[in-house]
Structure 1
Amino acid sequence: MSVEEVLFELKRKVQSKLPPDINVTGLEFEGPELVIYTDDPKKVADDGEIIRNLAKELRKRVVVRPDLKVLADPESAIIKIQEVVPKEAVLTNYHFDGETGEVQIEAEKPGLVIGRHGATLREITKLIGWTPKVVRTPPVRSSTIANIKDYLRSVQSERKNILRTVGRKIHRDIASKDQWVRITTLGGCREVGRSCMLLSTPESRIIIDCGINVGSDDSATPYLYVPEVYPLNQIDAVVLTHAHLDHAGLVPMLYKYGYEGPIYCTPPTRDLFVLLQLDYIEIAGREGNRLPYDSGMIREALKHTITLNYGDVTDIAPDTKLTMHNAGHILGSSIAHFHIGDGLYNVAFTGDYKFERTRLFDPAVCNFPRLETLVTEATYGGTNSIQPSRKEAEVNLIKVVKETINRGGKVVIPAFSVGRSQEVMVVLEEAIRKKVIDEVPVCLDGMIYEATAIHTTYPEYLNNDLRDLIFHKGINPFLAECFVQVESPKQRTEIVEGPPCVILATSGMLNGGPVIEYLKRLGPDEKNTLVIVGYQAEGTLGRRIQKGWKEVPLSVDGKTQTVKINLEVTTVDGFSGHSDRQQLMEYLRRIYPKPGRVLTNHGEEGNCLDLASSIYKRYRIPTMAPMNLETIRLI
């Protein structure tokens, strides 16, 4: 059956399920959604059960949109929205999408715009025709998110065509009678960096993550030239577990070499990967390194991105459904669960995950409807890779900060802009607010402030305690007065020459970024302290200093200069966004249902092998630590 025939049959079914006075003017697949157009959205809005029942009946994600000819003009629509919504909601902005018939309404209290059981939203639809989508007004405006929204509005028509093409590929007929599932390892196996895997069936080929190893010259990129992947225009989808460069940094290059399909990820992951990729090519260009892609390719990737919330079950290929679950690693990080065929096979890729409640996030999800194979990270998979609890880590950090401030020094914390920075910020803010440490400035240098702005845009992805603090107790740690955004070299000099303070600066492994400037200026003075709070990969400057190097070569004004490391160097373990050895083993103990097979990746060779061996010995689950370029048949 052709896609046109499928749509014709679906339209007939939809019309038969709707009340006879509701007319369906069009029906189309747009990405993973079945979009129903009607010239009477008011009647659909009157019955809140219609869409739910249709989705259940058709077993598809259903969206009802108004036929564009019935939409009120935006100016009068805004007036009517303001008449319906209580003033206490504090409406701050509106974005009308003429291609989809949707209006995005920003409000400080979105619950009041939604109303009880969605009643206010339905009333808005009846009055203006537009389909309302409500978002919370972010307390800190993100220029990245603003630019993303502006760009997506500018390519609305093109994006709609892309979504329709994707939708028709997803809902094409299944041609093969064979049934098999394979994983091909393209990067990130027995190593940290360039994570990339291919999930393939007779019907579909899906890439999970496509990262870059920023600190490597000879093994920087995945093996994307192998026959299983080539040509790229035959790949059905790319799924991103999270935004860090070692998982998402090479995605734009796919479009440079022929990929034309969708990228699936959570909304925060989309915004963060744009932020991190733009920063990556800017730094690479500044340092004279060869760029794998340019900003145009980042925009191309953004144009093809389809966002999914946790728990949304979504068709991404004729035989494959995807569900994203919280991974607890960074904002929007996900465990990607794939349901293949009609109950044929289920496999989950953890990406990076944290199986512990942190200041920002709930622990990684460990319950799934079905699970035959688990692919798990092994960053801290070695027998001795035990981290202190998060509470111990916080106590140790505060102790180091107090000691350094008391002796008149400055604390430099190299941190990844996304994840560790915000965790440390929340700890320091509370310690200053409760007068555990002196009220000193906490300087944020690099992308940390912008990444934090993105965190404030997505409070629903933070844990309940932090949301309660922000929305019910009126305390937003990210907006505390102690935080100072560093915006110029002059300000950086003033900080270095000024009174004691804490400096959070990128990059987390000291392989570039503003933290290098602080190390040059503050490294020779023994009153200062360098606090390492994140994983330092082999070969990075951070790992060398952590090992005890007392002199390091740094680039100064284009020339290499040796800098003495006299400042105190201390590692505060426990802030990592990765599960340590105990948490990894506990995750395998608690996971439900128990998988029939486990693969380990994203760890140095010894850690991947050690974790695989230990899982088998303790839980009797067949386990392996594949090398790159292996293909494993699952069924």
Structure 2
Amino acid sequence: MYSRSFESSQNLQESQSVMATILQNLPKECSLTKIEYEGPRIALHTNKPQFLLENNKILSNIVGQIKKRIVLRIDETIRIDESEVQKVAEKHAPQESGITEILFDPALGEATIFVKNISEIIKDEKIINNIILESGWKISFKKIPKNMVTIKNINKIIRNASDYRIQFYKRIGEKIFREKLDPNIEANLNSLGGFAEIGRSSMILSTNESNVLLDCGMNIYTKDPLSRFPRFDSTGIKLSEIDAVLLTHAHFDHTGFLPMLFKYGYDGPVYCTEPTSYLMYILYREYIRHSGSEAHYTDKELEKIFSHLIHLNYNIVTDVSPDIKVTFYNAGHVIGSSSFHLHIGNGDHNFVYTGDIKFGKSSYLENAVWNFPRVETLLIEGTNGGREDSYSSREDAQERLIEVINKVIKNQKLILMPAQLIGTSQELLITLDMLIKQKKIMKCKLYIEKLVTEINSIHEFNVEFLNRELQQSIISNDYNPFRSKNIASILDITTQKLDPGIIIYPSSMLNCSYSKDYLKRISNDPGNLIIFTSKPTGMTLGKEIIDGQRKLSINDEDFEIRCAIETMYSFNSHSDFNQLNAYISRLRPKLRKILVNHGERSKVQNFSGYSSKVHNISTQYLQNQESIKLL
């Protein structure tokens, strides 16, 4: 009892010390109106923002001292009406920028201005500062994407929840920055799903103080609830006892169960990157639309999620509970995908959860980050954990791709490339468009569905998450593959006349409802070609074809595959066996223990054994409903 009282007193003093440090280091010219918690940040509100905008080193120095995130907010009493902001923006922004739309977030006092040309604006910080000072809104500029539907829908949700979100941020901040209740530091990892399997990735990191949920996926390829959903029933932890949810990326096997948490009472924060939130909204919407009455949740739960979301950027340390800090790092898997560096206690243990990673060449994303400051335990995916999962180099695969495509296009035929909606679709689209632009592939059409166009628009909206070369190219209007003239829309695959070209179909294993129509359009002509870029898993139509089955039955309709079949897995968004080992080799001097998840049992078992021998680091794979002590 004495030690706990001492610890409580110590933490209370620390909290008071943080506020005192802020006040001591802020000159009177700052004119603060209030200091309050805003989720994982401390918000400083001022009615005279000019001083801090012109002397931004003051806030940087304070952050360095208190080791907490600080955000500058402008007092709402000096904000002008939303209807007047565009006039102010047009006054200060270059005329050629072409302002098209402004979306507001009253809860945070932020305004996002969409423009046609952004290159001149980002070169001059004064433009943004002048608009901030005259409008009283915190301003950011975005290049207008082709499709704004999802962006506007989410903005509507958060606007309607403005009053709730203001109180929510305060409540969460008080929980994060509360005094610690226990001086001892212990940490355990509890596996709920996605261990020795692919699907429903989810686990809880538990300490004496906190329970943090890492991913919250659903396995849509089974109806059995014991295999479909994460096993929360095995933990003894109530939803009300979960302090935070962290999402690595948008794919359904990592986020699909999240609406169910809110349906059954969770009301805490959800942390992810901005692209992840917009992409998972689209996936939830499509799931509800296709599932109909069998959907496990409705739009009501989606609205709850987006009123509890907190966006995090890469490389910024953030407190998510009294004894856990997280830093998101680029995972290279899909846009906005993250690996988590979790700092437990006072640096007592550092745990990295990679999520799904790509430690290899990509046409649109940077390589997965590996140079963490410290890491004792690594949890790495094992999707391609078998030795047979060593693929050809990207360069060799690309040469083969050019060869087979040109052969088909020369004969005025069609190519079908099944791919993941998010990730591989963009990788292929950009790679193919660049090869056509470089005249390595013959001029042809790249056919995509409307849904892929919508996903591409989120990439345009979040251009800062793309690799530097592509980012600069889009910003400067030099080259934007998402607006390429080679792209054509598929409106109806059964009747639409198609010129020779490549169809990027967003179902990597052909297990979607329209797969039969695409197959019927392509498979009967021996001159056509299907190229699979994802290695098959589970009992899917794609696996049957890759395994050599040529006579198929879908929905009681029989047909035969007469076209050619190719597999090219080097374009996949997961690291292959060699890339996973190269990643570990970079971290090896720091590691004490490796855990493997997200892979079929044979894969993670093989990878664990190989890693233990080759890297000489204790490596093991868990199964679902197991717990391992980290600290």
TM-score (norm 2): 0.93
List per-residue Cα deviations over 1:89-124 (Å, max 9, x = no partner). 4433323433333232334454644555x4443333
Separation in 1 of the partners of 2:152 and 2:83? Answer: 21
**What residue in structure 2 maps to residue 125 of structure 1?**
132
1:22 aligns with 2:18: no
Separation in 1 of the partners of 2:589 and 2:150? Answer: 39
Separation in 1 of the partners of 2:476 and 2:84? Answer: 34
Seen in structure 2, the aligned counterparts of structure 1 residues 83 and 539 have a Cα distance that, compared at 3 Å, is same
User: Which shifted more, 338-347 or 219-228?
Assistant: 219-228
**What residue in structure 2 maps to residue 328 of structure 1?**
332
Shift of 1:441: 2.0
User: Which shifted more, 455-464 or 141-150?
Assistant: 141-150
Separation in 2 of the partners of 1:550 and 1:446? Answer: 30
3-state SS of paired residue (1:18):
coil
User: Which shifted more, 587-596 or 269-278?
Assistant: 587-596
Separation in 1 of the partners of 2:106 and 2:195? Answer: 45
**What residue in structure 2 maps to residue 203 of structure 1?**
209
Seen in structure 2, the aligned counterparts of structure 1 residues 500 and 110 have a Cα distance that, compared at 3 Å, is closer
**What residue in structure 2 maps to residue 362 of structure 1?**
366
3-state SS of paired residue (2:397):
helix
Seen in structure 2, the aligned counterparts of structure 1 residues 73 and 280 have a Cα distance that, compared at 3 Å, is closer
Seen in structure 2, the aligned counterparts of structure 1 residues 425 and 22 have a Cα distance that, compared at 3 Å, is closer
Separation in 1 of the partners of 2:133 and 2:38? Answer: 24
CA contact 2:197–2:598 (8 Å) conserved in 1: yes
**What residue in structure 2 maps to residue 435 of structure 1?**
439
Separation in 2 of the partners of 1:227 and 1:361? Answer: 37
Shift of 1:135: 2.7
Shift of 1:455: 1.1
3-state SS of paired residue (1:197):
strand
Supply the AA of the counterpart residue of 1:602. H
The one of 398, 420, 436 aligned to 1:394: 398
The one of 606, 612, 616 aligned to 2:608: 612
1:530 aligns with 2:534: no
Shift of 1:81: 3.3
**What residue in structure 2 maps to residue 571 of structure 1?**
567
CA contact 1:410–1:503 (8 Å) conserved in 2: yes
1:284 aligns with 2:285: no
3-state SS of paired residue (1:411):
strand
CA contact 1:506–1:514 (8 Å) conserved in 2: no
Separation in 2 of the partners of 1:334 and 1:198? Answer: 17
Gaps in structure 1 of 5+ consecutive residues: none
**What residue in structure 2 maps to residue 154 of structure 1?**
160
CA contact 1:242–1:333 (8 Å) conserved in 2: yes
3-state SS of paired residue (1:365):
coil
Separation in 2 of the partners of 1:561 and 1:320? Answer: 55
Shift of 1:282: 1.8
List per-residue Cα deviations over 1:591-632 (Å, max 9, x = no partner). 265211000111111110111111111121111011111100
1:92 aligns with 2:100: yes
**What residue in structure 2 maps to residue 253 of structure 1?**
260
1:136 aligns with 2:142: yes
Separation in 2 of the partners of 1:257 and 1:21? Answer: 48
CA contact 1:350–1:377 (8 Å) conserved in 2: yes
The one of 231, 235, 238 aligned to 1:231: 238
Separation in 2 of the partners of 1:335 and 1:458? Answer: 18
**What residue in structure 2 maps to residue 183 of structure 1?**
189
Gaps in structure 2 of 5+ consecutive residues: 1-7
List per-residue Cα deviations over 1:69-95 (Å, max 9, x = no partner). 122334444433333333344433323
Separation in 2 of the partners of 1:498 and 1:38? Answer: 59
The one of 15, 36, 44 aligned to 1:36: 44
CA contact 2:281–2:302 (8 Å) conserved in 1: yes
User: Which shifted more, 99-108 or 608-617?
Assistant: 99-108
The one of 172, 196, 200 aligned to 1:194: 200
The one of 584, 588, 591 aligned to 1:588: 584
CA contact 2:118–2:476 (8 Å) conserved in 1: no
**Number of paired residues?**
621
CA contact 1:506–1:515 (8 Å) conserved in 2: no
List per-residue Cα deviations over 1:210-238 (Å, max 9, x = no partner). 1112222332221122234x311110111
List per-residue Cα deviations over 1:11-62 (Å, max 9, x = no partner). 5443332212433322211111111222222333232222222222322111
1:467 aligns with 2:468: no
Seen in structure 2, the aligned counterparts of structure 1 residues 614 and 74 have a Cα distance that, compared at 3 Å, is same
3-state SS of paired residue (1:447):
helix
List per-residue Cα deviations over 1:471-505 (Å, max 9, x = no partner). 45712122111211223x3xx2333x544332111
User: Which shifted more, 230-239 or 315-324?
Assistant: 230-239
3-state SS of paired residue (2:389):
coil
Seen in structure 2, the aligned counterparts of structure 1 residues 50 and 364 have a Cα distance that, compared at 3 Å, is same
Aligned pairs for 1:53-92 (under 5 A) are 53-92=61-100
Separation in 1 of the partners of 2:97 and 2:477? Answer: 18
Separation in 2 of the partners of 1:467 and 1:525? Answer: 40
Supply the AA of the counterpart residue of 1:530. I
CA contact 2:202–2:216 (8 Å) conserved in 1: yes
**What residue in structure 1 maps to residue 3 of structure 2?**
none
The one of 309, 315, 320 aligned to 2:313: 309
CA contact 1:182–1:632 (8 Å) conserved in 2: yes
Aligned pairs for 1:471-620 (under 5 A) are 471-472=475-476, 474-487=478-491, 489=492, 492-495=493-496, 498-555=498-555, 560-591=556-587, 594-620=590-616
Separation in 2 of the partners of 1:530 and 1:104? Answer: 42
**What residue in structure 2 maps to residue 421 of structure 1?**
425
Seen in structure 2, the aligned counterparts of structure 1 residues 294 and 553 have a Cα distance that, compared at 3 Å, is farther
User: Which shifted more, 331-340 or 445-454?
Assistant: 445-454
Supply the AA of the counterpart residue of 1:273. M
CA contact 1:102–1:130 (8 Å) conserved in 2: yes
List per-residue Cα deviations over 1:479-532 (Å, max 9, x = no partner). 111211223x3xx2333x544332111211111143331113433332322211
Separation in 2 of the partners of 1:7 and 1:72? Answer: 34
**What residue in structure 1 maps to residue 273 of structure 2?**
266
Seen in structure 2, the aligned counterparts of structure 1 residues 96 and 442 have a Cα distance that, compared at 3 Å, is closer
User: Which shifted more, 26-35 or 439-448?
Assistant: 439-448
Separation in 2 of the partners of 1:115 and 1:573? Answer: 40
User: Which shifted more, 134-143 or 255-264?
Assistant: 134-143
Separation in 1 of the partners of 2:59 and 2:141? Answer: 21
Supply the AA of the counterpart residue of 1:470. I
The one of 236, 242, 248 aligned to 1:241: 248
3-state SS of paired residue (2:495):
helix
Separation in 2 of the partners of 1:459 and 1:573? Answer: 26
CA contact 2:494–2:518 (8 Å) conserved in 1: no
Separation in 2 of the partners of 1:24 and 1:8? Answer: 17
Seen in structure 2, the aligned counterparts of structure 1 residues 109 and 47 have a Cα distance that, compared at 3 Å, is farther
CA contact 1:367–1:592 (8 Å) conserved in 2: no
**What residue in structure 1 maps to residue 221 of structure 2?**
215
Seen in structure 2, the aligned counterparts of structure 1 residues 405 and 109 have a Cα distance that, compared at 3 Å, is closer
Shift of 1:428: 1.8
Shift of 1:319: 0.5
Percent identity of paired positions between Structure 1 and Structure 2: 33
The one of 602, 608, 631 aligned to 2:627: 631
TM-score (norm 1): 0.93
CA contact 1:381–1:611 (8 Å) conserved in 2: yes
Seen in structure 2, the aligned counterparts of structure 1 residues 436 and 38 have a Cα distance that, compared at 3 Å, is closer
Seen in structure 2, the aligned counterparts of structure 1 residues 129 and 138 have a Cα distance that, compared at 3 Å, is closer
Seen in structure 2, the aligned counterparts of structure 1 residues 258 and 599 have a Cα distance that, compared at 3 Å, is same
User: Which shifted more, 537-546 or 575-584?
Assistant: 537-546
CA contact 2:176–2:319 (8 Å) conserved in 1: yes
Supply the AA of the counterpart residue of 1:476. N
Separation in 2 of the partners of 1:212 and 1:350? Answer: 19
CA contact 2:12–2:179 (8 Å) conserved in 1: no
3-state SS of paired residue (2:71):
strand
